[in-house]
Structure 1
């Protein structure tokens, strides 16, 4: 009984510690016309508004949608709070949140008769309401005096991995590099972001988003793109972001790129 009580106390302290850390991400919003999007933002330690900093936009998956301006930090939020990361890569980190009834990317999402999820990606097309607001938010950040326009990055997982590809093509010539985790896109859209250095990740056993989507993009980009890296985790299912965040070269690779 004593051991159970101790375990519960440790779990509670662990959750409280994480919540306290996430409080370092300040709450923000972008509202203009019909566009509105809420986000959490982490400034570098000893932030000086007179200096210019790299900016990373990170797009969450479908499970973190909502209007609480909190859930989007579930996956990836802790990575940028690590002491060594904050020390070695002083940057502004932005986690926008997609509303519950929307989607970052413009996709057709249905199910096969078997009940398995069926995903197809739109070639071109109009942006979703969430993506339209996100594009507006990125444009707004570009106007801020403390933003280094030569070092803007985007990354995301699952729905956010799909959104990463879409944001790249809707904000061409904006990002210095990008990462996509267990995402996908219509391969006919590749030409719009083929010059952006990309590192694509996927789990070989993913039964939510077919790894073939990432494979197809990587293979096409290798023939026409400037720089593409592809990592397939043989034993990972959909949560390949755990392995991705543990990659020692992930952030050094990302921040090494400049426009």
Structure 2
């Protein structure tokens, strides 16, 4: 049975949806699709350039590492969480920066972590040495390529990530201890022995949900303590009622981007 479509009503509904849901109106296509090739390996990534981008000017850079659920090769899913944070009109005007969202392949991981999920266990064993995973090595290479093109304010390079990406954030810090001015790891974790490698350089704001049953909040608590002991500039925010998706609380945190973009290497 066919139905007549009231196009006037349909357009009204769409307009109202944008009016009452401003994030829906933000265009993720502003993040350009790009690829980076290194040693015959390819990294998909999306990049958002500042409004009125000036190629002769140097800008801060934010690397954003997604979680395990956004892995793949479509060069789209990695924008699921966090991308709209940087499309906000206020953010675009107050914090002009190059925002990079790489995508990890389905069968890999950002951080060098050993898992034991056998017999009801859910254990993560974070490494403190060894080679980076191929996707993380590509991310490091991508950042170096941008720096080499003279696009980057090297005193204001930042990294943030959630879940698997929170773990990758911590790992990028200890593998590149003189690179990042600020970092925001969300519901992640790392080997606390690595904290002293970057404690003197990088300001860190850690987030976690107290009711997280995917990545235990003790991982973030341990890293907070390790960074405190190493005399780092570190803050920790734990949301008492939040589960694994503590990134929703984090993105709504007042002053989040102001804090991040205020960090600078000396």
Cα separation, 2, equivalents of 1:252 and 1:40: 23
* 1:131 Cα offset (Å): 1.0
Residues 122-201 of structure 1: matches in 2 within 5 Å?
Answer: 122-195=127-200, 196-201=202-207
Counterpart of 2:233 in structure 1 is 227
SS at match of 2:30: coil
* Aligned equivalents of 1:197, 1:27: Cα separation in 2: 30
What's the secondary structure of 2:244's corresponding residue?
coil
TM normalised by structure 1 equals: 0.92
Q: Of residues 30, 39, 43 in structure 2, which corresponds to 1:33?
A: 39
CA contact (8 A) 2:156 2:264 kept: yes
Q: How many Å separate the matches in 1 of 2:44 and 2:215? A: 26
> 2:157, 2:179 within 8 Å by CA — same for their partners in 1?
yes
Give the secondary-structure state (helix, strand or coil) at the position aligned to 1:23: helix
Q: Distance in 1 between matches of 2:260 and 2:207?
A: 14
Alignment: residue pair count: 255
CA distance in 2, matches of 1:230, 1:52: 31
User: 1:38 offset after TM fit, Å?
Assistant: 1.1
Paired residue secondary structure (1:31): strand
Between the aligned partners of 2:13 and 2:71, the Cα distance in structure 1 is 31
Task: Say whether the 8 Å CA contact 2:26–2:84 is kept in structure 1.
Answer: no
Give the CA RMSD over aligned residues: 2.4
Q: Give, in angstroms, the shift of residue 140 of structure 1.
A: 0.9
Alpha-carbon shift at residue 146 of structure 1 (Å): 2.2
- Stretches of structure 1 lacking an aligned partner (at least 5 in a row): none
* TM-score, L = length of structure 2: 0.89
